[in-house]
């Protein structure tokens, strides 16, 4: 009887080592002066402040902010399209955008990649996207884990999870408590579906519509795969710029990342009691991918609103005096944005109004 080996069980350690050898070069692209070297260590080291006085943050009462998320069944589209370098951006975006809602500066990111077998080229593509996302978010990819699980994942499949740690001064943490009547609501453009609602989107596009990822759709001006795989917008730099610009004043009262649950559910999460937000339907243009999916799947508007971001990926609730100034900053940063609603007294909720 032959001796059992790890390779026979589905895990080839030689290939695993080849895959791991590709990663340090990628991670190094994201390192900031606060990353402390620990080659071959079992963890990553990160100092909260800069040792260089020129760049020192000089925190007085820092609060750590942590977030975790995945990419969901958007990965199925990536696998079908054979495009794996953009879902890494999605992975970073889903966590750093959440941390941003507290006003935090993302410090570092960790990833978890689970695969049915070692595939160095695939892993490199995925991690290269994670690196791109971390660079966009100005945070370090401090480390991660690659798990080879042949009995969990089918050949060709893989899964991703991400973890972000950020920091904010305690007195500047944004939690929505200061939202008050007459505040204005700014919606900042998404880049499409981002990473939510893909179980419905895939059912519509592939099962109901009978499309393949390579099908070109004139209404969209691109293939189905291209339309569904646009990476999630990372809002860190423009929002951090706004928050830094108004360091003394309480200008931004609340921030909501529009993910699963849509605009109403995510915005309601940050509202204090006695506060109602009225969203003006029609105050921003709906990207073609949403109208295409709605028509193709004959989806009710209520269902669309609670599943997809409908073109608004981030919402800021701000003091009305500074709304136009904040909007101008987003515009200069290349982000489309709109005044999409207002705050009033009422039952804690988000309701639809008319423009």
Confidence of residue 327 (pLDDT cuts 50, 70, 90): very high
Q: What is the pTM of this model?
A: 0.94
Q: Which two tokens stand for residue 103?
A: 């006003």
CA nearest neighbour of 347 among 231, 241, 268, 251: 268
The stretch 179-197 carries a mean pLDDT of: 97
pLDDT at 179 (0 to 100): 97
Range from 58-67, 185-194, 240-249, 272-281 carrying the lowest mean pLDDT: 240-249
Distance (Å) of CA 256 to CA 62, 98, 126, 141, 326: 22, 8, 27, 24, 16
Indicate the range of 7-11, 39-43, 191-195 predicted with least confidence: 7-11
Average per-residue pLDDT in the chain? 93
Domain 13-172's class?
Answer: alpha beta
What is the per-residue pLDDT across 331-352, written as a single tens digit (0 to 9) for each? 999 999 999 999 999 999 999 9
Q: What does the domain layout of the chain look like in residue ranges?
A: 13-172, 184-354
Asked if domains 13-172 and 184-354 share a fold, the reply is no
pLDDT of 36 reads: 87
- What confidence tens digit (pLDDT) does each residue in 86-110 have? 999 999 999 999 999 999 999 999 9
Task: Give the pLDDT mean for 138-164.
Answer: 94
Distance between CA atoms of 150 and 57, rounded to whole angstroms? 45
Confidence at 51, pLDDT banded by 50, 70, 90:
confident
Average pLDDT over residues 207-215: 97
Q: Per CATH, is 184-354 categorized as 1.20.120.530?
A: no
pLDDT of residue 320: 96
Q: What is the reported pLDDT for 1?
A: 62
Residue 248 banded pLDDT, cuts 50, 70, 90: low
140-148 and 105-115 strand pairing: parallel
Q: Which of 92, 70, 85, 82 is nearest to 225 (CA)?
A: 82
Share of the chain above pLDDT 90, in %: 81
Confidence class for position 137, pLDDT limits 50, 70, 90: very high
């Amino acid at each position: 009887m032959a001796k059992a080996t790890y390779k026979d069980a589905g895990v080839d350690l030689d290939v695993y080592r080849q895959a791991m050898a590709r990663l340090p070069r990628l991670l190094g692209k994201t390192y900031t002066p606060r990353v402390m070297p620990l080659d071959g260590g079992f963890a990553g080291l990160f100092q909260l402040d800069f040792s260089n006085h020129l760049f020192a943050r000089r925190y007085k009462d820092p609060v750590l902010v942590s977030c975790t998320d995945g990419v969901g069944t958007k990965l199925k589209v990536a696998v079908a399209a054979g495009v794996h370098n953009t879902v890494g951006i999605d992975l970073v975006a889903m966590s750093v955008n959440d941390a941003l809602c507290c006003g935090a500066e993302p410090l570092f990111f960790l990833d978890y990649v689970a695969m049915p077998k070692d595939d160095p080229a695939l892993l490199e593509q995925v991690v290269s996207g994670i690196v791109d996302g971390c660079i966009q978010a100005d945070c370090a990819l401090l480390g991660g884990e690659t798990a080879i699980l042949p009995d969990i994942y089918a050949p060709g499949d893989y899964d991703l999870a991400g973890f972000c740690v950020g920091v904010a001064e305690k007195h500047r943490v944004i939690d929505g408590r200061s939202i008050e009547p007459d505040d204005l609501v700014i919606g900042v453009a998404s880049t499409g579906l981002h990473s939510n609602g893909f179980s419905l989107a895939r059912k519509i596009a592939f099962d109901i519509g009978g499309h393949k990822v390579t099908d070109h759709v004139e209404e969209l001006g691109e293939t189905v795969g291209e339309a569904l795989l646009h990476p999630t917008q990372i809002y860190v730099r423009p929002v951090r710029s706004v928050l830094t610009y108004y360091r003394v004043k309480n200008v931004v009262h609340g921030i909501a990342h529009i993910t699963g649950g849509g605009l109403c559910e995510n915005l309601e999460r940050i509202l204090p009691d006695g506060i109602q937000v009225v969203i003006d339907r029609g105050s921003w243009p709906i990207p073609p991918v949403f109208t295409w999916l709605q028509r193709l799947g004959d989806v009710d508007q209520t269902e669309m609103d609670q599943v997809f971001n409908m073109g608004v990926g981030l919402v800021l609730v701000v003091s009305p005096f500074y709304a136009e100034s904040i909007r101008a900053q987003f515009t200069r940063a290349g982000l489309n944005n709109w005044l999409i609603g207002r705050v009033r007294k009422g039952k804690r909720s988000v309701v639809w109004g008319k423009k």
